Every structure is written in structure tokens, then in C-alpha cells.
Chain A
């Protein structure tokens, strides 16, 4: 039972602890990670520099000159044991995406792989929210869970040398958006007109944060072009915490 696994304290050198809640990619497990991250923030421990939630653990970087590492580790385990799981730990987004065509060159192949029409694949992608498990690999790259198992497909055998910025991509049961152009082997299904990464914004350099939920909204090429030109007010794409997801 993921819910009952006792958190483990793993040493990542003398300046970081990893508090591990399990070994899988699972929403209930991640809810515990985010519950811990939230409680840690509230505890405001002076030696802690920053924390990095992942799929299944939270790494806590600290100043080893500021506090005894063992004492801090014990405190982290106490917080982990008492923090309630946070089912929704972040904000909710509804993000426009242009699927298929030049924006999503792998949509046809994925549809064929799944034995579905392209429209049926898009319908499944836009039917339920995805959960942002963690950011990594490159600045602002969100690893999101929630891809229906029937859409699972392995990575490309030979990664593309350059994936266009803002491409929506999937592999296995994960989904992501490449924040900037980069090499990549995930399957490209569409593209969003929104910038997801703005390093000049110190408060939120990445649009998504671990714990956020994201629902994709299919748009057409004309809407994509219009949104791409517009200055974007990010708040426009937020969904209120208690509100139902718009159809």
C-alpha cells in the first residue's frame, strides 16, 4: 500500500536529504510528496535552502554549516510522518493546444499505434486533467501524469535533434511540454501558443509548478495564431480551485 509506506530518509551527500515516499509514479504517492513539501515550507526551517519535489520523493537542500545534518534529518522525518497528503497541491490550468499537423507530427503514428482515429486520441487527451509531478531535465520542463494507458508509446528510437518550443509530447504514461527548443525523443502531438517558461519572472519562472493540474483544450490553427501574437495574461488560463473543469 503506497499510502502506508513509511517515509525513508536518504543521504544525498552532506548538504541534501531526500525524503522518499515510494518508488512508483502514482497520484496518491505524489499527494504525500506535495503534502510534505507544503508542510516543510510552513515549518520554515532556517538551514533549508530549497526543496525539490519529484514523482516519489522530495529532496531538501540545506546549508551543512548552519545545522547538524542528523538533527535536520530527524526533523524532516517528523514532518513527513505528520504531514497530510495534498490531493490538489497547486493551481489548475486550462491550456490551449493545437493538435496534429505540423504542430503534432507524431499524432498520426500514435493514433495508428493505439488503433484509434486522430480525433479519438485528441478526445482522450482533453477528457481529464494531467498532474504536474515535477519539473526537470531542462528549466521549466514539466513531467505530467494522467495519460490514458491505451495511448502509451515508447520514446523514438532516435531522438529528434530539435523539438520546437512549446510542443506537447508524450511517452509511456507521461505528458510534457518542451518549454524551449531542445533535442528530444518524446512523441509530439501538438503545440501550445503559450510561453511556459519566462526566466525574467522571478516569482514564477515556469508557468507550471509541481502539484498543479492541467487540462488541455483543443484549438484550431487560427486561434493558435491569434493567441501566439497576443500578449498573454496567464491568469486567464487559471481555473478556480472549486470550479468544475469547463467543457
Chain B
């Protein structure tokens, strides 16, 4: 352990996250991990970490932390006010090295999500190969729950010599959230499939790391069994995850025998209001899924707060693959562009570095 951080105030909605916990979904254990893995990678890169190192995911308000031992280098990807006792203002998207005893306070998070990374990563014991927190199951992270006052976060060995580094904010693409139809688009009426991309949806207050319940035009299921829609099925069940089972589930209108789900899937309960699943979603689900958001657009979903409006667009598989490759390339270029901070009144080294980058001379692969 290279350092230790003491939590003075856990903030609101702060969890430890990393690249997620793949490999255990057949045991009902969710993938979890950062809702925006691109910004997680940005925060990590600013402090010299690999992209999926464990960091704090901030949703509502940030924590107050004290360096209990060692020196700790931090960086925030996102928009929030950051204060360090007795120092000038500190901005996001740049690294800062804290001395033992110093306090860091992150205020209200603007824009839905931010990541606070520390050089060396937060080194709590991994569970099933990951430090990600799954709140609903109480697994991973710090005792399976959100950060709280009194928690102590061990910090791994990281590179904290050398100057501080910075980069401009990483901006995600805008435009509609791109969808591939399926896996159960054929369970829905043609007007429902059109309404999904022709009309806008709003994020309801039912929004957490498991998913976003959306409000918009009701998406009607095909009447697959020729039954009347029972009145009891028109009301939305509050707990979309309640186990469905037995022969009743095979026949119920708008419901069917559970199958696999994934983050990005748009599952539609009988009331026709879709739920957009996120990283902490269950591994299987009993509602048909009209479409699934492409991987490249999942990070953007993390930034949607209740009340936000969103639009969808269908794309093909080629476009989805190209979007993901383009996103990886943009992230790699952004990381390449990380530059030393300008000392007050000194030479703007960052400008020189980026000028050199453009010419390709400084970081050329050629001998």
C-alpha cells in the first residue's frame, strides 16, 4: 500500500468502480463497473493508470477526503468544484498531488457523472476479479455499499514523480442514441418500432445504476396469443426485476420466459414504457427487448439525469462497429494529448507539446 485515504464525508451516490466483473453472469452476478468507461479511462490516464483501474464514480455530490498517509496524486474527469485546503482553485481534467494530511473536497457533480482517480488505483481487495460495487447485491467496492464517512481507501503503487498533467475535457459525441433492433423487436407492433425512433423520450425519476425508466409514447406489444389485454397487466409492475416464472409467464401479455439481457437493452414491460438497462442490470429478464443501444453510446447514458430528453436512431451492425472503433481511436488520441501543466507565469509547455504532436515529431514511432 503506497498511501491511505480517509473518507471524511462520503458524498451522495459515490461508489468504487472499475472495468466491471465479467465472467460471472451465469451465476446471476451483474457485470457492474463504470457507467462511463471512457471517462474512467480519462481520469485514470491523467494519473498514469491503466484504463480500468478502480476509481470513485461520483453521481450527485462528491466526497471529502483526507490523505491519511503517503502522497496521493488525483485527477477528476467531469464537472465539479474541487477544493484543497489552503491551495488555489483546482480544476478537473488535470492531476494534483496531495501531501499527507491535506484535504480534498469535491462539490456538486454537474452533468450526471464524474470520476475521481488516484495514481496506483484504489486498492481494496478485489471480489471475483473486480473492485466494482454492485449496490443492489451489496457486492464489491467498499463493503458493497456507497462511500461513507470513516471508510479508509488503500492506494496502490502509482507514478507520482514528475510534473502534473492535464488535458481538455473529453467530449462525447452528440446526436441520437444508436440502436440495433432486437432481440425481440418482432414482439412489438410496427407503429411501436417506428415510435421508438420518431418520438422523444424523457428519463423518469426511476433512474439508477441498474437502468433508466423512460417516459414516452407507449410501445405496444404484438398480441401474440390473441388474448384480451388483462387490466392487471396494464399497470407497470414497480419491480421490473421480480422473478417471473411458471407457465403464467409464458402466456402473460407483454411478458415471456426470461432470457439473457445486457447493458443497453431496452426492455419493455406491459405498460409500454421502456427501461434502458445499465451496468448494474440483472443478467436475465422477463420482458421483451425491442432494441439494444450500441456499445459506443453506453457511456453517454451515464450523463442522463431525470428529466433529460433523448432520441433514438436505428443503425446497422457495420455502423455500430465503426462507431466503437472511432471512439477507441478518439480516446487513444486524447490520452496521447495529455500534456504537462503550465507552471504559473512559466512557458506553456502544453502548447509546445501539442504543436509537436501535430507535426508528429515528438512521439514518432520511427527510430
Contact = CB atoms under 8 A, between A and B. Distances in A.
Interface of A: 10-16, 18, 20, 23-25, 49-59, 61, 64-65, 68-70, 134-141, 143, 152, 154-155, 159, 171-174, 176, 180, 183-186, 199-200, 202, 205-206, 209-210
B295 A13 contact: yes
A139 B25 CA distance: 8
A236 B328 CA distance: 49
Interface stretch (B101-109, B177-185, B197-205, B304-312): B177-185
B250 A23 contact: yes
Nearest to A183: B239
Interface in B11-61: 22-30
A139 B137 CA distance: 7
A210 B24 CA distance: 12
A136 B282 contact: yes
Contacts of B293: 13
Contacts of B25: 50, 52, 61
Contacts of B127: 199-200
A204 to B, nearest CB: 8
B289 interface: yes
A64 B128 contact: no
A174 B260 contact: no
Given A136-B282, A202-B129, A54 B28 contact: no
Interface string B345-361: 00000000000000000
Given A13-B180, A202-B128, A159 B284 contact: no
Contact of A65 (B182, B256, B262, B324): B324
B69 interface: no
Nearest to B266: A13
Name the residue in B25, B127, B181, B183 with the highest tally of chain A Cβ atoms < 10 Å from its Cβ.
Answer: B183
Interface residues of B, number: 55
Contacts of A13: 180, 262, 264-265, 292-295, 320
A172 B321 contact: no
Given A13-B294, A14-B321, A202-B128, A52 B250 contact: no
A65 to B, nearest CB: 6
Contact of B262 (A12, A25, A138): A12
Interface string B249-291: 1100000111111101100000000000000001111000100
22 contacts: A11-B181, A11-B183, A14-B295, A18-B260, A25-B247, A25-B250, A50-B22, A52-B25, A54-B260, A55-B257, A59-B259, A59-B260, A61-B25, A61-B262, A65-B325, A134-B26, A134-B258, A136-B243, A159-B239, A159-B242, A171-B243, A172-B248
Nearest to B261: A12
A12 B317 contact: no
Contact of B182 (A10, A53, A54, A134): A10
A137 B182 contact: no
B139 interface: yes
Contact of B289 (A12, A64, A68): A12
Interface string B67-107: 00000000000000000000000000000000000000000
Interface in B200-247: 239, 241-243, 245-247
Nearest to A173: B246
A49 to B, nearest CB: 5
Nearest to B249: A172
